[in-house]
């Protein structure tokens, strides 16, 4: 990716420093698209984990398992209350995981926008 730069021998930096010019709009659009694709991949992976868990532990149909996983990832509670002990344990762990996925997804989507805003406010055109 062209926006990755080697920085002082310490590793890759995805974002430009305040001494560098802000990215041009096409490059920023690519950066935003990459972050969006990563967030969508994380959500797709999480839905797959939820579906698999609900189908295995609660013996739910594919559609019901998808519904429970999607509702939990959306921040609400499960539609079907778990009835097995293993299902209750999985549902509890998946609910905690879903909360973390929500936070990470929000960060992935807003980080490029907030970085661009902060960079524009602090960049000196010298």
Q: What is the assigned CATH class of domain 32-122?
A: mainly alpha
Of the pLDDT bands very low, low, confident and very high (cuts 50, 70, 90), residue 9 is: low
Least confident of 8-22, 41-55, 86-100: 8-22
Q: From residue 33, how far is each of 99, 109, 110, 117 by CA, in Å?
A: 23, 9, 12, 17
Q: Smallest Cα–Cα separation from 74: which of 44, 93, 102?
A: 102
What digits encode the pLDDT tens for the residues 54-112? 999 999 999 999 999 999 998 888 888 899 999 999 999 999 999 999 999 999 999 98
Residue 80 — left, alpha, or beta (φ > 0 → left; ψ -120 to 50 → alpha)? beta
Residue 120 has pLDDT above 50, yes or no: yes
The kind and range of the H/E element at 12 are strand 12-13
d(CA 48, CA 42): 10
Question: Where do the structural domains in the chain lie, given as residue ranges?
Answer: 32-122
**pLDDT at residue number 24:** 85
Return the C-alpha torsion angle 71, 76, 82, 85, nearest 10.
110
What's the rounded mean pLDDT across residues 40-54?
97
Find out whether 72 and 64 touch, Cβ atoms under 8 Å: no
Angle at 123 between CA 120 and CA 126, to 5 degrees: 135
């Amino acid at each position: 990716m062209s926006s990755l730069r080697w920085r002082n021998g310490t590793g890759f930096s995805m974002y430009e420093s305040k001494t560098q010019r802000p990215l041009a709009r096409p490059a920023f659009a690519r950066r935003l698209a990459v972050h969006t694709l990563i967030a969508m991949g994380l959500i797709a992976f999480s839905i797959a984990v939820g579906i698999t868990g609900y189908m295995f532990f609660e013996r739910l149909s594919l559609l019901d398992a998808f519904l429970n996983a999607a509702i939990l990832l959306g921040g609400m509670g499960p539609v079907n209350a778990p009835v097995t002990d293993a299902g209750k344990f999985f549902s509890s762990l998946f609910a905690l995981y879903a909360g973390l996925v929500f936070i990470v997804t929000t960060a992935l989507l807003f980080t490029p926008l907030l970085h661009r805003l902060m960079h524009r406010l602090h960049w000196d055109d010298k």
